[in-house]
Structures are given as structure tokens and as C-alpha cells.
Amino acid sequence: MNTLYSFRRCPYAMRARMALRYSGVPVEIVEVSLKAKPAEMLAISPKGTVPVLDAGGRVIDESLEIMRWALAQNDPQGWLLAGDSRIAELIEANDQGFKVQLNRYKYAERYPEQPMEVYRAEGAVYLQRLEVLLNDRDYLLADHPSLADIALLPFVRQFAHVDREWFAQTPYVRLQAWLQRFLESELFTTIMKK
């Protein structure tokens, strides 16, 4: 049996749960408290971040690797896009750049060097990049979801939800529709059920 140590609201855990669910690989989800992580989880992954997948003894404790592991088992809609290198680039820009800007924007009071609007504008450069990709299609890299859409989704969602009114009045209308479509999807609502 596969076990996923997860935290419902963690964006990394969300993307891992979406990929696992999509692949249909059976997995037991263990909801952990980040303040009291289970000893069984720390025993197999001492770094103490979620998600952690225990796939019958093989431990994977990076969300992107969990996603790739799930898709290697089963990828019915072709989320891997036959190894399209733009996937890795977009995810790298999210995980290394946009995520940092998101944190500063969301917790601007902890970064008093700049006003919140500066952090938001920095993050918006990435949103603009996504908007351009969505110009002539409904998903970022193809006419169906890919690994990139799913890996980015929880972070774009967080950014949008810091100030929903601000996000709603941005010119990123294709991105707004993209986000809304995913938030209402069976895949997302299922992995967010309590």
C-alpha cells in the first residue's frame, strides 16, 4: 500500500495529491499536523516537510518527484507532454521565483523593506507570463492540462486569494478563467475534501 503524508492546505501537498488522484494509483492519505509531525514520517524523511510518499518502501519526499512518479505509473491524458522541456522551466520559475514573491506578498508585514505593492507587482510579472501562454489556448502548454498547470495551480490560487478583489480587477482574464476552471474541477474539489 502507498501512503502519502500530507497537509490539506499545503500547496506542495495539493499538487502531489492531484497527480496521485489523476493517475489512479491507490494511496492512503495521512493528514499530519505540521506542529506535531508523526514519528513514522520523520523516520523515513527526517527533513520534515510534506508531502512524503511511502510507495511500498520507496520514499519520495519532494512534491514534484511524487507527481512524476505518479504519472510514470499512469498518465491517461498525457500530462507529461512527451517530456516537453517547457514544463520544467515553468515549474522551476514557479518554485524558485514566484513562490518567493508570493511569500513576501502574503506576509508583507514580515518584509518591511518594501511595501506590499512592490512584492505583488514582482509576482504579477509571472502572472503576466502565464496570461500570455493562455492567449490562444485554455491550458498553459497544450489544449489539455499538463504537469505544469497542476504544479503551478496551488501557488497561483494562493496569490489570487491574498486579495481576491485585486486579482479580479487585473487584466489577467484568461488566467482568472483558468484558475476558476480548476477550482471547480472534480479533481481539485476531491483532493480538498475534509
Ligand X SMILES: N[C@@H](CCC(=O)N[C@@H](CS)C(=O)NCC(=O)O)C(=O)O
Which residues would be at the binding site for ligand X (CB under 6 A)?
7, 10-12, 34, 48-51, 62-64
As measured in angstroms, the least distance from the Cβ of 59 to ligand X is 12
Query: In angstroms, rounded to a whole number, what is the distance separating the alpha carbons of residues 153 and 15?
Result: 8
Q: What is the smallest separation between the CB atom of 50 and ligand X, expressed in angstroms? A: 4
Report how far residue 5's alpha carbon sits from residue 19's, in angstroms, rounded to the nearest whole number.
14
In the complex with ligand X, the residue whose CB is nearer, 143 or 194, is 194
Residue 137 C-beta: closest distance to ligand X, Å? 27
Question: Residue 7 or residue 105: which is nearer to ligand X going by CB?
Answer: 7
- Which residue's Cβ lies closest to ligand X? 10
> Do 15 and 150 meet the contact criterion of CB atoms below 8 Å apart?
yes
Q: Which is nearer to ligand X, 93 or 118 (CB)?
A: 93
Minimum distance of ligand X from residue 63's CB (angstroms) = 3
Q: Which is nearer to ligand X, 15 or 120 (by Cβ)?
A: 15
Residue 27: name the closest of 47, 41, 6 by CA.
6
For ligand X, the closer of residues 87 and 134 by Cβ is 87
Preceding amide of 51 cis, omega within 30: yes
* Continuous segment of H or E residues that includes residue 54: strand 52-55
CA distance 175 to 106: 19
Residue with C-alpha cell 514580515?
A: 110
Which letter, b or e, does each residue of 151-163 get, where b requires 16 or more Cβ atoms within 10 Å of its Cβ?
bbbbbbbbbbebe
